[in-house]
Amino acid sequence: MAVYTDITDEELAGFLAGYDLGAATAFKGIAEGVENSNFLLETEAGRFILTVYERRVRPEELPYFLGLMSWLADHDFPSARPVPDREGRTLNTLRGKPAAIAEFMHGLSVRRPTVAHCRAAGGGLARLHEAAADYPGRRVNDLGQPAWAPMFARLHDEAENLKPGLAAVIDRDLAHFEAHWPRDLPGGAIHADLFPDNVFFQGDAFAAAIDFYFACDGAYAYDLAIMLNAWCFEPDGSFNATAAAAMLAGYQAVRPLSAAERSALPILAHGAAMRFFLTRLNDWRATPAGALVKPKDPLEYERKLAVHREGLVL
């Protein structure tokens, strides 16, 4: 939940004057997105989401993200289409911060995905990969495998505080990735953060993907590995192989995986768990006590790392 920036009716009216959307008829801050402020915006022209970009998102990267969202919407993928202003710009400024208006997407995210949701979400990811295949934008994944060892070098103490002995175990993982990380898998633009709260369903059907602010160039199978971690673990920490099989089947019904991609999935999922463990550990450390937004518990991903060390059966 997050609304960091407070927008007055006058500021909103001034902002909307640059668009061809008529006057606002409703405007409400919504509890969606941890990094940005999001508002339900209804105007005479329809319903939209207004996003004000806060910390973490770099303004110079927004054209890549907004461009990808437009591209996907143009290529038959259900992504919120950014709305251009009267001068054709999708990126503007509100209260001195970058801001954009995008279509309102229908659907509900699910808290505890069923096997059917996992199948549909896998299919949605494959559709995303195919729709984005020729997107001309480029963005290096600054949270990819080469970044992990330097990140962890600053987090040894936090890992030890979390669990004595953990730092050495993580260091062994990182050496393993450095030696064995697959580097020639098929790829292109990936979402890189397609957690359940970033997917909307209508019933069991995939209805939309949102929150493209970690999208980047990467291996398609790595994107799928991120989803296996995010969708196919039970609350008790066990891996749900039925859900994972459904997710892979859903993906492959749209885009079959190569033998190399399939055999790389266990190390990719192990590495994907490392990426989220490291950023959560970093956020955990950086968050002052009593902060408004509670950081996500790094231990959830520490447990997933432990499962991956045993080897996934996929």
Query: Where do contacts with a copy of itself occur on this chain (CB under 8 A)?
Result: 1, 3, 8-10, 12, 23-32, 40, 42, 104, 106-112, 202-203, 289-290, 292
**The token pair that represents 67 in the structure block:** 């461009």
Q: Name the minimum Å distance from CB 290 to a copy of itself.
A: 3
Q: Name the minimum Å distance from CB 93 to a copy of itself.
A: 19
Q: Name the minimum Å distance from CB 103 to a copy of itself.
A: 12
Name the residue type at position 58: R
The residue among 66 and 210 lying less far from a copy of itself, judged by its C-beta, is 210
Q: Name the minimum Å distance from CB 205 to a copy of itself.
A: 12
- The Cα 261–Cα 279 span in angstroms is 25
The residue among 41 and 267 lying less far from a copy of itself, judged by its C-beta, is 41
Q: Name the minimum Å distance from CB 275 to a copy of itself.
A: 26
- The Cα 6–Cα 10 span in angstroms is 12
**The token pair that represents 227 in the structure block:** 């989803």
Strand partners, 41: 27, 48
The residue among 105 and 314 lying less far from a copy of itself, judged by its C-beta, is 105
CA atoms within 13 A of residue 138's CA, in its CB half-sphere:
1
The residue among 31 and 179 lying less far from a copy of itself, judged by its C-beta, is 31
Residues 219 and 257 sit within 8 Å (Cβ to Cβ): no
Taking the alpha carbons of 215, 219, 220, 226 in that order, is the dihedral positive or negative?
negative
The residue among 56 and 106 lying less far from a copy of itself, judged by its C-beta, is 106
The residue among 150 and 290 lying less far from a copy of itself, judged by its C-beta, is 290
Taking the alpha carbons of 100, 191, 170, 233 in that order, is the dihedral positive or negative?
positive
Name the residue type at position 14: G
The residue among 37 and 145 lying less far from a copy of itself, judged by its C-beta, is 37
Q: Name the minimum Å distance from CB 20 to a copy of itself.
A: 18
Residues 231 and 221 sit within 8 Å (Cβ to Cβ): no
Q: Name the minimum Å distance from CB 98 to a copy of itself.
A: 20
Taking the alpha carbons of 217, 281, 111, 262 in that order, is the dihedral positive or negative?
positive
Work out the burial of residue 44: count CB atoms within 10 Å of its CB; fewer than 13 is exposed, 13-18 middle, 19 or more buried.
exposed
